[in-house]
Structure 1
Amino acid sequence: MRDLYRSAEARAARLRLLVEASRDLSAAEASTLSDTLQQSAMRAAHFAGSREGKVSDDLDAGGIALIAPGTTDERVGTLCLSELESLDALADEEDRQALALLCQLMASAIQRVAKQQENDVLLDAVQERERRLEHVIGNLFNAQEEERRRVSRDLHDGVAQTAGALFRRLEAVPTSEAISPDDRSQLISMSQGLIRELRAVIAGLRPTALDDLGLASALKVMSDQMRGEGFDISVETSSDHDWPTGLTTAYYRIAQEALMNVRKHAGGACRVDITLKSDPADGRWTMTVRDYGIGLKKGEAPSNLPGERVGIEMMKERMLAIGGTLDVAEMAGGGVRVRAEIEGIR
């Protein structure tokens, strides 16, 4: 009976050692691993009857090798127990097995934390690369808009002024034998058409309404153009808050591209709703362009529509450049919804 009791006590001690060590080691992180390993080493020392135990990262140190699980048999540390050079020094086979299992648990914890640290380094590198990419894309878009602004200004101050002067000179030229009334009228009509085309190009390059009146007004001007094409289009805004300058250009270009897709793919003139929602307290700015056209082709993703892939990717890149998101989805009631949103901008 005494032997059975001692055997049961020994098994309970082994089980307690492994359960407690497993619990602590599985919860260990990079900041707590060293203390947890030291605690497990002291438990191993007490279990083996040694005075002291510690874990060393010296792979050539004398002691019990900690071998990481896997096929490589990688040594990740050494369990140093005073007065115990190896597991073979333990007389009891079950004690040797228990201590060997504890060493495996310690090696697994070391390997897990090391891999987590490697993953964290890789994740940081990827996130830094994404931040740099966003910065580069943002600079590209800013440079593009600045170039548009410069070309628009040059056209307005140069070619448009020359075309206007030509129109006024033609109006002042009297009808004569050299210029028949029909030719004069045709030249005047052509100069008027040239001025209209130039104004349209200038407005497309850099809408003055966006700089002078803000995003909502610029969208209303754009909507008036589509309304002239037969579309039933509306622009609604939830508040009178001024939108941050850094957002207005990106949102305007996204609306411009979304409406161009409506012209191409909605199947004709239809209803279109543009909604602006702003919550300056939370820094949330949302724009939705919703059309009620024929919608997407059955089973076809938005980005796979013919001629539309580049437009949607450009819209997504614009939102990525300012730290926002873009969602394009087919609606149950028909049509497509483009939703651009950004948070944390005040």
Structure 2
Amino acid sequence: MLPLPSPAPPTETASDLRALYRASEARAARLRVLVEASRTLAASAPGELDAAAQTIADQAAHLAGYAQGAIASTDNLPRSGELGEDSLVIPLEAPGSGRDHVGMLVLEQRVGSHTADDREALGILGQLVGGALAAHAREARLATLLAELLGAQEAERSRVAHELHDGVAQTAAALARRLDLATDGDPEDLVLAARQARGLVRELRQVISGMRPPVLDDLGLAAALRQLIEDAGAAQDVTFDVKLGARPPTLVETAMFRIVQEGLNNARAHAGAGAHVTIRVSETEGHYRVEIRDNGAGFDPRSRLASTTGRGLGLSYMRERINRLGGTLVISSAPGQGCRIIAEIPAR
């Protein structure tokens, strides 16, 4: 006897099965996009990263029902009015940076619909691409800083060599000749030799101070900053205030001194004649804080000029130094409005 045919499933059950199938296909599509994006980014060389990010942007657009996708860098973000009303913008964030965006994923020309799960997948894509772009940018920045640091080291060695040759070496040679003359016992030659020896000691101390002031190790930050400002003399109009409790750790104290030193150098070079510089160093709420403010010419921190001049290099060094200590650096400036630099370093 032939078996009876199975009854057709109810309409509602068939509809539910189709919905489950479509949802399963959608989940598989989202997972496939995420896995392929991760593999693409991991396999991309630095020179291929932009093309890989664009490929992922196209895949994200198709996933969310848009005709096209693009990656906009922080230097080329779309302005208000440039995007259509149906466009979707997803921020690309560097991992662990909070709201520090490295770009935007821009989806345009909507041709379909997307779900909350699709938006969640787009957010994950934004994290993947943002992390890769941030890592690449940091590697490029560190490579640039390393090259500039090597150049700065050579320039510093050249400066010290010139100071030793033109100053200390000449004084030492003159002292040696005077001592040769003093072998006949002439008291005047001995007096002049003693005077030249004292001058030699002063010159050596100046060279050493230019590399790292001994007063920073001996007497601390306040005394070192006072000497730094006194050495500037009438070339800069500076007021400063230091309010610290216990002496900061050596690395932190050195970083704070270098920040002030670089801030003064920047103000001297770029603020303009007659600019006033105010320096405040304090310890509050578990942080060391350095604020350097001038009322000089100012500049645009985001402009390419700021990143290719001596000012930009100095500020980049400052930022990297503070980042290594777990701190933050905020630069506020605009043309004609002076410059304000605030550095905060956790107390350890």
TM-score by length of 1: 0.51
Corresponding residue number in structure 2 for 1:288:
291
Closer/same/farther in 2, CA of residues 153 and 245 from structure 1, 3 Å limit: farther
How far residue 194 of structure 1 moved from its aligned partner, in angstroms, is 6.7
RMSD: 5.5
Q: Give a deviation string over 1:247-278, Cα, whole Å, max 9, x none.
A: 33333233223223333445546643321022
- The one-letter code sitting in structure 2 at the alignment partner of 1:336 is G
Correspondent of 2:65 among 66, 69, 76: 69
Correspondent of 1:329 among 309, 333, 340: 333
How far residue 189 of structure 1 moved from its aligned partner, in angstroms, is 8.8
Closer/same/farther in 2, CA of residues 213 and 330 from structure 1, 3 Å limit: farther
Is the counterpart of residue 48 in structure 1 residue 48 in structure 2? no
How far residue 222 of structure 1 moved from its aligned partner, in angstroms, is 0.5
Correspondent of 1:204 among 198, 206, 210: 210
Cα distance between partner residues in 2 of 1:257 and 1:125: 31
Closer/same/farther in 2, CA of residues 275 and 120 from structure 1, 3 Å limit: same
Cα distance between partner residues in 2 of 1:127 and 1:316: 16
Correspondent of 2:260 among 247, 255, 260: 255
Q: Give a deviation string over 1:126-179, Cα, whole Å, max 9, x none.
A: 344466668778988999999999999999999998667545444545489xxx
Closer/same/farther in 2, CA of residues 233 and 116 from structure 1, 3 Å limit: closer
How far residue 236 of structure 1 moved from its aligned partner, in angstroms, is 1.2
- The one-letter code sitting in structure 2 at the alignment partner of 1:309 is T
How far residue 122 of structure 1 moved from its aligned partner, in angstroms, is 1.4
Structure possessing the higher radius of gyration over alpha carbons = 1
How far residue 286 of structure 1 moved from its aligned partner, in angstroms, is 1.9
Corresponding residue number in structure 1 for 2:71:
none
- The one-letter code sitting in structure 2 at the alignment partner of 1:315 is L
Is the counterpart of residue 238 in structure 1 residue 237 in structure 2? no
Residue 121 of structure 1 aligns to a residue whose secondary structure is: helix
Query: Percent of pairs identical after alignment?
Result: 23
Cα distance between partner residues in 2 of 1:249 and 1:114: 45
Alignment of 1:150-165 (within 5 A): none
Cα distance between partner residues in 2 of 1:154 and 1:305: 31
What 5-or-longer segments of structure 1 have no aligned partner? Answer: 1-44, 60-66, 73-103
Correspondent of 1:113 among 120, 124, 129: 120
The question of whether the paired residues in 2 share the 8 Å contact of 1:166 and 1:191 is answered with no
Q: Give a deviation string over 1:37-89, Cα, whole Å, max 9, x none.
A: xxxxxxxx998354853242378xxxxxxx963459xxxxxxxxxxxxxxxxx
- The one-letter code sitting in structure 1 at the alignment partner of 2:316 is K
The question of whether the paired residues in 2 share the 8 Å contact of 1:148 and 1:205 is answered with no
Residue 208 of structure 2 aligns to a residue whose secondary structure is: helix
Closer/same/farther in 2, CA of residues 69 and 124 from structure 1, 3 Å limit: same
- Aligned positions, number: 251
TM-score by length of 2: 0.50
The question of whether the paired residues in 2 share the 8 Å contact of 1:235 and 1:273 is answered with yes
Residue 322 of structure 1 aligns to a residue whose secondary structure is: helix
Closer/same/farther in 2, CA of residues 309 and 150 from structure 1, 3 Å limit: closer
How far residue 225 of structure 1 moved from its aligned partner, in angstroms, is 0.9
The question of whether the paired residues in 1 share the 8 Å contact of 2:278 and 2:293 is answered with yes
Cα distance between partner residues in 1 of 2:250 and 2:122: 44
Corresponding residue number in structure 2 for 1:342:
344
Corresponding residue number in structure 1 for 2:106:
none
Alignment of 1:176-215 (within 5 A): 196-215=202-221
What 5-or-longer segments of structure 2 have no aligned partner? Answer: 1-8, 30-62, 69-111
The question of whether the paired residues in 1 share the 8 Å contact of 2:168 and 2:200 is answered with no
Corresponding residue number in structure 1 for 2:320:
320
Closer/same/farther in 2, CA of residues 306 and 137 from structure 1, 3 Å limit: closer
- The one-letter code sitting in structure 1 at the alignment partner of 2:297 is L
How far residue 213 of structure 1 moved from its aligned partner, in angstroms, is 3.1
Residue 316 of structure 2 aligns to a residue whose secondary structure is: helix
Closer/same/farther in 2, CA of residues 118 and 335 from structure 1, 3 Å limit: closer
